[in-house]
Amino acid sequence: MIQFIGLRDEHGKIQKEIDTAIKKVIDSQYFILGEEGEKFEKEFAEYLDIKNVIGVGSGSDAIFLALLSLGIGPGDEVIVPSHTFVSSVDAVRHCGARPVFCDIDENTFCIDPKDIQGKISEKTKAIIPVHLYGYPAEMGQIMDIAKDSGIFVIEDACQAHGAEYKGKKVGTIGDIGCFSFYPAKNLGAYGDGGAVVTNNDEIAEKISKLRNYGQSKKYYSDFIGYNSRLDELQAAVLRVKLSHLDEWNENRSKAAGSYGQLLDGSSLIIPKEADDIFHAWHLYVIRHPKRDELQEYLNENGIETLIHYPVPVHMQKSYSDFDVDLPLTEKISQEILSLPMHPFLRDEEIETVCRKIKEWK
Ligand SMILES: *Cc1c(COP(=O)(O)O)cnc(C)c1O
C-alpha cells in the first residue's frame, strides 16, 4: 500500500531527539505552561518573524480565541470560505457570530477576493482566509479590502506552516494568524495543539489570559476565560520538529514537482504554484470529473487517497439553516482528490502513482 501520510517515517528520523525531549519534561514533572512552551513560542515566533506566539490547545481553539479577542460575537458577521475544514467556520458560530460564505478561486482553492467585496455588510467584523492545502490565499487583495472596510483579518494557517506569500510567512500578514499542530499537519505534535500568532501586543495579552481561565496571574481572574493551553510534552515535541520543518517542506515541494512532471499530459487538472508564493504542499490535490471512479481504481491498486473535503461546510447537516449558492465550491467538491503527500514519499512511490493514473486514462 502506498500510504497517504508518513508519520512513522517522520518519527523514525527524529526518534532519539524526541525521546530525549520527552524524558526531559517527564523528569521535570512540570506539564503545563512551563519552559518548553515558552521556548517553543519564542522559536516559532523567530521562525515566522512575528512578535507574539501564544500556544493553545488546538487549531480550532486558536481561531475561536482569536475571534473572541477581537470582541466578535452575537450580531456580527464573519466572511469565510465554505471549501475548508468545518472547524474554520464552527469557531465563528461558537462565538455567536454569523458566518457569511464566499466562493473560491478555481486555481488556488482559496477564498476568492472578488466574491468577498459583495458580501461585506455593516455587520461584517472580520474575514477568515484559509491557506488551504498549504497554498497562500490572495492576501494582498484581502488586506486591501479589509483596510477599506475597517475589518479584521484572521488567517487560518492550520495547513500552511512555512508557506509564504510574497516573501512573508502566512499567518503573519493579517491581524491574527492561527495554526494547528494536529499530528498530520506539516508541523504536528504527538497529540492536539495550536497557536495564535500576532504582532499586536494587546491581542497577544488578551489571548494569553483567555487560554488560561482569564487570569492575569494565578488565582486572579480578569474576565471569563477557558482552559486551552499547549502542554509541555507537546511543546517539547514541536521544538524538535520545528527544526526539521523547512527541510520537510522542501521534500514536499520536490514531491509536488515530480507529480507535476509525471502527470503532465494526463487527463487530470493538477495544482499550480504562482511565482510569488511558497506552497507548503500540505496536500497534493488534483481534479477529475470522474473522481470517485479514479479513487476506487487507485484504491484497488494499493494507492491510498483522501478527499478534502467531500461536503462543503454550507452543505453540512450542521449548517442546514444556511441557504447559499457557491457554484465553484460545490463543483470542485465533486472533482477533488488528494494524492499521497508527505516528506518521505519515495520517488518509486510517486512514479507508481503517476503510472497507474496514466494507465487509467
Ligand atoms: C486542522 C485544521 C483546523 C483545526 O485544527 P485542530 O487542531 O484540529 O483543531 C482548522 N482549520 C483548518 C483549515 C485545518 O486544516
Q: pLDDT tens digit string along 31-66?
A: 999 999 999 999 999 999 999 999 999 999 999 999
The verdict on whether omega for the bond into residue 309 sits within 30 degrees of 0, i.e. cis, is yes
Are 65 and 39 in a shared domain?
A: yes
40 falls within a domain: yes
Q: Where are the alpha helices (DSSP H) in the chain?
A: 7-28, 35-48, 59-69, 86-94, 113-117, 139-149, 201-210, 232-242, 245-263, 291-300, 327-333, 347-360
Distance separating alpha carbons of residues 31 and 28, to the nearest angstrom: 8
Q: In this structure, are 129 and 48 located in the same domain?
A: yes
Give the nearest ligand 1 atom to 194 CA: 7
Report the CATH number that the domain containing residue 311 is assigned in CATH: 3.90.1150.10
The domain boundary, picked from 226, 242, 258, lies at 242
In a domain, 2, yes or no: no
Domain that residue 114 falls in: 7-102+109-242
The ligand 1 atom at the shortest distance from the C-alpha of residue 180 is 7
Same domain as 278, residue 222: no
- pLDDT tens digits, the chain, 361 residues: what are they? 999 999 999 999 999 999 999 999 999 999 999 999 999 999 999 999 999 999 999 999 999 999 999 999 999 999 999 999 999 999 999 999 999 999 999 999 999 999 999 999 999 999 999 999 999 999 999 999 999 999 999 999 999 999 999 999 999 999 999 999 999 999 999 999 999 999 999 999 999 999 999 999 999 999 999 999 999 999 999 999 999 999 999 999 999 999 999 999 999 999 999 999 999 999 999 999 999 999 999 999 999 999 999 999 999 999 999 999 999 999 999 999 999 999 999 999 999 999 999 999 6
Residue type, 41: E
Query: Which cell is 344 given?
Result: 518521505
Measure 275 CA to ligand 1 centroid, in angstroms: 27
Q: Can you name the residues that pair with 177 across neighbouring β-strands?
A: 155, 197
Same domain, 177 and 290: no
Measured distance CA(200)–CA(51) in Å, rounded: 8
User: Residue 118, exposed/middle/buried by CB under 10 A (0-12, 13-18, 19+)?
Assistant: exposed
Last residue of a domain, one of 227, 242, 257: 242
User: Among 242, 273, 290, where does a domain finish?
Assistant: 242
Do 15 and 87 lie in one domain? The reply is: yes
Whether 123 maps to a domain, the answer reads: yes
**Do 353 and 234 reside in the same domain of the chain?**
no
Q: Which atom of ligand 1 is nearest to the CA of 61?
A: 9
DSSP, residue by residue, 241-267: HHTTHHHHHHHHHHHHHHHHHHHTTSS
Q: Are residues 331 and 210 located together in one domain of the fold?
A: no
Q: Return the residue matching grid coordinates 517553543.
A: 40
Residue 59 C-alpha to ligand 1 middle, in angstroms? 5
Q: How many domains does the chain have?
A: 2
Residue pLDDT, tens place only, 83-135? 999 999 999 999 999 999 999 999 999 999 999 999 999 999 999 999 999 99
Nearest to residue 188, comparing CAs of 277, 129, 248? 248
Residues 232 and 288 in one domain: no
Which residues, other chains included, contact 172 with Cβ-Cβ below 8 Å and sequence gap of 6+?
48, 49, 50, 197, 199
Q: Residue 297 falls within a domain, yes or no?
A: yes
157 lies in the same domain as 189: yes
Domain annotation covers residue 115: yes
118/177 same-domain check? yes
Q: Where are the alpha helices (DSSP H) in 128-221?
A: 139-149, 201-210
Angle at alpha carbon of residue 22, lines to 16 and 24, rounded to 5°: 105
**Of the candidates 263, 14, 284, 287, which has an alpha carbon nearest to the alpha carbon of residue 134?**
284
Which residue, judged by its Cα, is nearest atom 11 of ligand 1? 88
169 in any annotated domain: yes
Do the domain assignments include residue 181?
yes
- Of 61, 64, 65, 85, best ligand 1 pocket probe by most atoms within 8 Å of the beta carbon: 85
Contact at 8 Å (CB) between 305 and 298?
Answer: yes
Domain co-membership, 32 together with 135: yes
Residues 341 and 227 reside in one and the same domain = no
CA–centroid distance, residue 27 to ligand 1 (Å): 31
CA end-to-end distance (rounded Å), the chain: 21
CATH number, position 47: 3.40.640.10
Nearest Cα to Cα of residue 73 among 94, 92, 96: 96
Q: Does residue 279 belong to any structural domain of this protein?
A: yes
Task: Please report the atom of ligand 1 found closest to the CA of residue 87.
Answer: 10
